[in-house]
Amino acid sequence: MADYDVVVLGAGSGGYATALRAAQLGLTVAMIEKDQVGGTCLHRGCIPTKAILHAAEIAEAARHGAEFGVHTILERVDLAGVRSYADATVARLYKGLAGLIRSRDITVISGTGRLLPAEAPDAPPRVEVGDQVITGNHLVLASGSEARSLPGLEIDGRRVITSDHALRLDTLPKSAIVLGGGVIGVEYASAWRSFGTEVTVVEALPRLLPNEEPELSAGLERAFRRRKITALTGAPVAEVDAGDHGVRVTLSTGRAVEAELLLVAVGRGPRSAGLGYEEAGVELDRGFVVTSERLVASTPRTYAVGDLVAGLQLAHRGFAHGIFVAEEIAVAEGKLDRSPVPVRDRDIPRITYCDPEVASVGLGEEAARAEYGDAVTISYDLAGNGRSQILKTAGLVKLVRAPDGPIVGVHLLGSRVGELIGEAQLITTWEAYPEDVAAAIHAHPTQSEALGEAHLALAGKPLHVHG
């Protein structure tokens, strides 16, 4: 007999979502975590960074208040105060999450869990935590991800830092180089610039946010230039020299850039090394757990969720994985009579919280052409949207449609457009046609009208669109 119905290794977004849903379905659950429940997202990622970005938005608004007839002065940015605000936000959410987990009678075991080989082919999976061994009828691997660096680039935590260090800075740098133009890189570049730091973003690929549509990348780069953020794209790093007084980064082009510190934001990798996965027979690929479409790993009764599974590294993907796996296990245990629908990355919304924001869901134009043989696209400029003009934001809505078919991708650029992604996701996942959305009445003046206008145009009856 196993100790629990479900043992979850890791209490981040994917792990605690699994635990909560499994307990809700009447399964006994143990969750093993060496740190605090909530994982990277709550303590070092989504929540504190977005709190910092909101503080940066306030600083930006104060600096430009005169444009709106409100003459404000930005006296100073108190980074300790910003940290205190972010920490308080995290603490409130952590308290609520911990209480929720207690209320579901989930056993939380503190310590580093290590997977052990099964004692027999039909034996329950085993996890070693300190001097005890925990067994479960089903095991869910949810150990998450960690910040990556480049080969040979030493992270010293002082001049060369990761996003984890950036959250705990005591003072703002006067100048900074951000290595990596992906989501983490452009968000920190945006926040620091709003606080007054001189920022240079270095990206080896030809454009910022290389996984987004080229039009969105181009629009973001224009906005960054207006904000005096330097973006050096198509520029791999050749050498990094860190000293007592700063950092010098030499690019493959021979150009050198100097600043007080270097933020290494080249992405995150799976946290699977040293946890006994391979020794227990779990198949890995570049550190990611290899799974089926239904998130089943290579060893019996074992699943993987969240950042351990190759694909989008997003907290809400982890939540969705966790709910799916908990329901899948509940079906196997006779607690649920209907199998859940697998999670598809193309249905997961993506938001980058820089200024302006970038948000998207579904397929890009290139991917749609590869899947359907062709694609129909249209872009609606936010210059025609009243609410966007009030907010003084530039940007666009790009729609991607399958030939004579539904909308398969929605891509957005502009201040606050992340709030539109919910409707955009409904459009793509419910396979709406342009005429379906065009018939919906969008409140005026709102930015959601931009979605309506774009669909009106694609349906052949544009209203606030110049010919």
Catalytic residue annotation: 444
C-alpha 313/C-alpha 325 separation (Å) is 17
CA distances from 434 to 161, 409, 430, 457, 460 (A): 46, 12, 12, 9, 9
DSSP 346: G
User: Do residues 163 and 178 lie in contact, with contact meaning Cβ atoms separated by under 8 Å?
Assistant: no
- Whether residue 383 contacts residue 438, with contact meaning beta carbons closer than 8 Å, is answered with no
8 Å CB contact between 343 and 312: no
The encoded tokens of residue 160 equal 């060369």
Write out the two tokens for 105: 């009678």
For residue 307, give the nearest of 7, 13, 109 by alpha carbon: 13
| DSSP string of 229-294, one letter each residue | -EEEES--EEEEEE-SS-EEEEETTS-EEEESEEEE-S-EEE--TTTTTTTTT--EETTEEP--TT
Name the β-bridge partners of 411.
Answer: 360, 398
